Chain A
Amino acid sequence: MRETLKIINELKVTGLIDDYAIGGGIAALFYIEPFLTYDLDVFVIPMKKRLEEGVILLTDVFAYLKTKGYPWKGEHIIIEGVPVQFIPVDEFEKEAVENARMTEYEGIPTKIIQPEYLLAILLRAGRKKDIEKVERLIEQTDLDREKLDSLLSRLNLKEKFTSLKEG
């Protein structure tokens, strides 16, 4: 994991991506009790290189990782023994990356999406496993309720959130 993060940081330093933050299960793991998961979701803000509307170019990123010998397995690229999935951000996720929490893992700097943004992204995705994480975030973290309320309103998720709490 330490070496994985070093390589991901290199992508930013070398200008292959604009910025990144850890999201998904590992971001949830940062805030809640340990649970089983297998991949590291990395939300990336790509460099502004678009072929056309609706096409995001990550070829330089993967070419760089390929030169380092990292193999693919399914939809993941295995970086230093950790399956990583790079997820290009939409507008909301871009804001989540820009406002992500700076932290360190074994001395390596990294960024983790804040719990309020994470909860909103998980709730929007809405799969069973996402909702389980949302429930644990509610139970086990001290969420900024005002911030969460504002984010959920923007995504029209307040009703979904309320029904989840009542259910």
Chain B
Amino acid sequence: MREEDLKIIIEKDRITAKKRLFEEKAHFHKEQARLPFEEKVKILVKLQELASRIKGEDRIIWQI
């Protein structure tokens, strides 16, 4: 059996496979890529704020 065909039991009636997990992940990333530009820029600013808090770097957080 191939690694990607391995079944994963999540709960009693919920079974998935590694292959399906990868497909869902790829689908999620494509959906994120389709967000409106304005929405992406809002997320970008949140990422900049988070990075600033974590890393404490002197980087400019965008004003939008």
Contacts and interface: CB of A to CB of B under 8 A. Distances in A.
A106 interface: yes
Main secondary structure of the interface of B (DSSP, over half): helix
B41 A32 contact: no
Contacts of A81: 60, 62-64
A30 B41 CA distance: 9
Contact of A1 (B29, B60, B62): B62
Contacts, number: 60
A89 interface: no
B40 interface: yes
Interface residues of B, number: 20
B51 A36 contact: yes
B64 A1 contact: yes
A78 B38 contact: no
A57 interface: no
**Residue of B26, B47, B51 ringed by the most chain A CB atoms within 10 A:** B47
Interface of A: 1-3, 29-38, 73, 78, 80-83, 103, 105-106, 136, 139-141
